[in-house]
Structure 1
């Protein structure tokens, strides 16, 4: 099932790539330069706009301060004394013998 989906996606990618290559082959070099420069101007303008608007919005809330809450102690549940971590059965593993 997934293999079929991957094959369909790969075929779609190949079809789109072939279409873009055909369009690129038909355009003249002057038109390619024009398209490249126009895309550069469009995306550069968007980048500059986003940078300026974020810097402007940083200083907008100057009077408001960040509210900090203290971290409260986490209450853990008490387990029985037979817990695997706190089990003290006087075992001496270094000698291979139990409780002597």
Structure 2
């Protein structure tokens, strides 16, 4: 577990260093432009996914969801009085006439 945590920390540090190097090279105006473009792109994507999900809530429910009634399972033994106690079943080596 400790080895995984160290690996995750190394990856985070590597990504942090590279992002800081890339962002440090651009001017503050360009940095603001990149942040605004990303904000509007991801905001628009979020709104699109939300609206399309709400729009498609009631479509094709009848085709996907098919409900059937529960069927009765057949009993294993012929004698229903002895079928509850497994020690009285003939298939377990004891007779029912004891």
What's the CA shift string for 1:49-95, capped at 9, x where partnerless?
11221121123247x4x777789xxxxxx78xxxxxxxxxxxxxxxx
Alignment coverage as a number of residue pairs: 78
Equivalent in the alignment of 2:92: none
Unaligned runs of at least 5 residues, structure 1: 72-77, 80-100
Instruction: State the Cα RMSD in Å.
Output: 3.0
Equivalent in the alignment of 1:21: 20
Larger fraction in helix: 2
Sort the Cα spacing of 1:20 and 1:67 in 2 relative to 1 into closer, same or farther, 3 A: same
Secondary structure of the residue that 1:58 maps to in structure 2? coil
- 2: distance between equivalents of 1:8 and 1:51? 35
Sort the Cα spacing of 1:56 and 1:4 in 2 relative to 1 into closer, same or farther, 3 A: closer
Q: CA offset at residue 8 of structure 1? A: 2.4
Structure 1's consecutive aligned runs of 4 or more residues displaced over 3 angstroms after TM superposition are: 66-71
Q: CA offset at residue 20 of structure 1? A: 1.0
Equivalent in the alignment of 2:53: 54
